[in-house]
Structure formats: structure tokens, C-alpha cells
Chains A and B, each alone.
Chain A
Amino acid sequence: MGKKRVAIVGTGQTFHKSSRPDVNGQELINEAVQKALEDANLTINDIDAIVIGNMDHFEGINYVDCWSVDGSGGTMKPIFKITTGGTTGTSLAMGGYYLIASGLFEKIMIIGWEKNSESDTSGAIVTAFDPVWERQVYAGAISGLAAEAKAYMEKYGASDKDGARVVVRDRKNACNNPHAQLRKEVTIEEVLNSPMLSDPIHLLDICPRSDGSCAVIMASEDVAEKITDKLDWIWAVSGRHTYTFLGDATFGHLDSLEVISKEVYNKVGITEPSKQIDVVELYQPYSFAGIMWIEALGITKVGTGAEYVWSGATDMDGEIPFNPSGGVIACNPIGATGLIRCAEIALQIAGKAEDRQIPDVKLAISTGFGGCFWSDIIIHGKDKPDY
């Protein structure tokens, strides 16, 4: 355990869109930062350090830490850049948490952002893969996920209808979230009739590309309670990276998420996650992940993911609601996406989630996922942890 306990005291997000030509990157960042400061009732002078990140190469701007200072408020402050692919957002949250938990910092502004509309992000994603061994025989991010879904379907008999059920849930939830990009419900038929991109992934199964930013302010227990009484305490965090080449991965079961869930559940004392956890914001870049990765989270037994989702257990009024925000399928400014999962849970815990609020949230989870099957997890709690 760290030297200090840490809580989220404020969050801010933009209204995410497919394209924001009205702002440049720094201005986009600034919108979220100002909202977070307002939410926490703090000024930028109260902030000790900045932790910032976006996807490597996506905007083609290096030294984001320096370049973004008028947006981030980082002038003459220490700034840490963290970028870890899809997990960037959650790695940012964990980075901020570790800095405060160390006892060396008191109040940190954590920022994730992305302006996908400014570049060829498919081209940029290719740079995540090995230039000698993989790039020349690579088929896009979607194909790797499709291969994962196919392996699972073969083993457990799932079908694309199961993926579609997840989409229907999340797109419906997104209608309650003014920040989500896609706010229109879809039906199972519409999903299955949408163009097939890469078997079994249809167009409506996969996340969009969004422009957006998110800011989260974390504070040490020494000051958090003086800042606000609507706190979200960080109980545990964990992450596991894995990957040399895509062909090394286990397709059909997210090993990294299983390992870290067990670790944090053990730390916090969770033995029956589906009963003890009140809500989950899952980093779910495509529908089938909502079937497969809930098994890795220990919510339901391996092979029963589809059945569990169809039962309604993950709907807003179910036993363990997933993605009340609409999740990644409704909105995806990648560098911010993981941080948005964290911010959405902070809103749930603090009772600030408006139309998407789940009642009585005491313990909740946000997760992060990165391209080649690596994962992060954060457990949030309403009460101050006693360790």
C-alpha cells in the first residue's frame, strides 16, 4: 500500500465528437481541464503536477508535455507524459495515483486527450507493430480483435448475435450521456445488417473514432476531504503488459485482465465480484469483448459470457450494470478513453452521474485495454479504504 490514500476530487470532459475543427489540441485539452477545476472548486495554482498523455504518433506531435502547457496549465510545473497505447487513459490515472500515494505530491491534474480527426489513425496504429516481423503482414487493429472473437466463438459456440446484444445495451445507455459521441439506439437487426468489416465484426460492433479530452484531479488524503465531500477513493490499481508479437497472445481469453482482477480483488477482499461490485466501466473497444472479458473479470464463468449478458444482468437495472456511459462503442477519443472510464466511475461513486446514475454505488471498477491484449484495472470506493 502507498504512503497516502488517494481520492478523485473532480473530473471534466468535453462533449466528444467525430471531429472538432473549432479547436486545436491545446484548446481541446484546456476545455476538460477548466471543467475539472470547476468541478473540484480549485484553481490551476492548487495543482502540483500534470500527468498527460495521448496515443503515440496519432497527432504526429512529440513533446506533448511541453507543447500543451497553455492547455494543461503546466507552465513551470513538473509534467509527466505517459503513453501506453489503448491503456493510456488508465495508465495516466494510475500514474497520478502513484505520484500522490508516494507522499511526494498532493494534488495532480491528469489529462487524456485525442484528436483522431487530424490524422490517418489506421496508419498510425501500424507503428505499434514490429517493422521487421509484423507490419508487412498486418491487416489492421480490427482484424486482431476479429481473430480473438472468432477463437472464442469456435470454442464456446457464441455468435455475432451475442455481440449485437452488447451493442444494443451500450448504445441505449449512451442516450443518457450528453458527453457520448453516438447517442442513438440501435437494434440487433441493425447491427447484424451493418457492413461486415472483418468476420465476425460488423461496422456497428466496433468503436468510433472521436475527438475529445478528459481531466481528472486526484488529491492526497491530507487535503481531499477539505476540497469536497463528494470523493471517489482509489482502493486498488493494477496493470499487466504483455506482447512481443501478436502471434504470442492467447486468443479468446484476456489473460492480463484475469491476472490483475484476481490481484485487486484479493487486496480489497472481493470474492464474488458480480455481487460485491456495483457498476463497471469496461474498456470495451468492440462488442464481443463485452462477452469475453467479463469472464476474465470473474463476473461469470468462462464460456457463459453470452448467456450472462442476455439475462439482462449487465443492463442498467441488472445485478451489475456495465457501461452506463455507453462505453467505448459510443465514444472513443483513444488517449482519453481509459481516463473517461475512470472519470465515469468517479461520477457514479460521487453521485454526480445525472441521468446515467446507478443508485447506491459503493464499490466500482474501471478498466483499460491495450491493442495486444494488455490491461489495467482500478477499484474505486465511496468510503475511505482502511488500509
Chain B
Amino acid sequence: MANNSLEESITECRNCRQINRRITKAGQAGSELEAGRFALNGDLPVNPSGGLLSGHPVIAAGLIRIAEIVKQIRGEAGAYQVKDAQRGIAQGVNGRCGQSHCVWILDKEK
């Protein structure tokens, strides 16, 4: 996956208090967040489901991120549907210092 963060139309992150550096340049996440870039109707919606800060069954959380992206791509996300979602990222992390990561990219097209 290249640095083309704008191609990814939605992202679901675990523990996403800090936006992944590839989505934005270092040091810019805070200002972009405030500017609404990652909001539901922003350029690159992050955690449209409400993410982990809204609910966290620990071991299921990573799989839920994937399920949430599937719902978005299918257009089944109801009140938190991202318009025309084509492709999404689901990310999971483990370890107190983030020692282990797993990233999925899901797309509407085969």
C-alpha cells in the first residue's frame, strides 16, 4: 500500500487516539482532526462506527473493525454510513507498546 492516503475512503482503527502516520504527515494529525478531515462527512472518515472508545470487547475488537468496513462497503451502515464507500482499512494492534499490528484492506471490487 503506497502513501496514497486519499484513496482510502474509510479507516477503522483500534486504539486510534493517534491517527496512523500514513494517513497524514507527521505532526499534522491534530490540526487535520480539528479541521474535520476525519469526521463522518470529511475527506477520510475514521472510525465511523465509533471505534473502541465507544465500546471495546477486547479480542473481538479487531474482527469488529473488519465487519464494520464490510458494512460500509455494502452500504448497510445506516445512520453512520459513509457516502459511496468503495475501499476501507481495518487495523488491529496488540501489546502495551503496540508490539504487534495487523492491517486489512477491503475493497468493493474483486
A residues whose Cβ falls under 8 Å from a Cβ of B? 63, 65-66, 79
Tell me the nearest residue of chain A to B102, going by C-beta.
A78
Judged by a CB distance under 8 angstroms, whether B57 is at the interface is no
Residues of B within 8 A of A79 (CB): 100
Instruction: Please measure, in the bound complex, the distance between the C-alpha atom of A79 and the C-alpha atom of B100, giving whole angstroms.
Output: 9
Tell me the nearest residue of chain A to B99, going by C-beta.
A66
Residues of B within 8 A of A66 (CB): 94-95, 99-100
Residues of A within 8 A of B94 (CB): 63, 66
B residues whose Cβ falls under 8 Å from a Cβ of A? 94-95, 99-100
CB distance from A51 to the nearest CB of B (A): 15
CB distance from B91 to the nearest CB of A (A): 15
Instruction: Please measure, in the bound complex, the distance between the C-alpha atom of A329 and the C-alpha atom of B13, giving whole angstroms.
Output: 48
Instruction: Please measure, in the bound complex, the distance between the C-alpha atom of A65 and the C-alpha atom of B100, giving whole angstroms.
Output: 9
Instruction: Please measure, in the bound complex, the distance between the C-alpha atom of A122 and the C-alpha atom of B40, giving whole angstroms.
Output: 52
CB distance from B24 to the nearest CB of A (A): 24
The 5 closest A-B pairs by CB, nearest first: A66-B99, A66-B95, A66-B100, A63-B95, A63-B94
Instruction: Please measure, in the bound complex, the distance between the C-alpha atom of A63 and the C-alpha atom of B94, giving whole angstroms.
Output: 8
Residues of B within 8 A of A63 (CB): 94-95, 99-100
Instruction: Please measure, in the bound complex, the distance between the C-alpha atom of A79 and the C-alpha atom of B94, giving whole angstroms.
Output: 12
Extra inter-chain contacts (5) besides given A63-B95, A66-B100, A79-B100, CB under 8 Å:
A63-B94, A63-B100, A65-B100, A66-B95, A66-B99
Tell me the nearest residue of chain B to A79, going by C-beta.
B100
User: 7 interchain pairs (CB within 8 A)?
Assistant: A63-B94, A63-B99, A65-B100, A66-B95, A66-B99, A66-B100, A79-B100
Instruction: Please measure, in the bound complex, the distance between the C-alpha atom of A66 and the C-alpha atom of B100, giving whole angstroms.
Output: 7
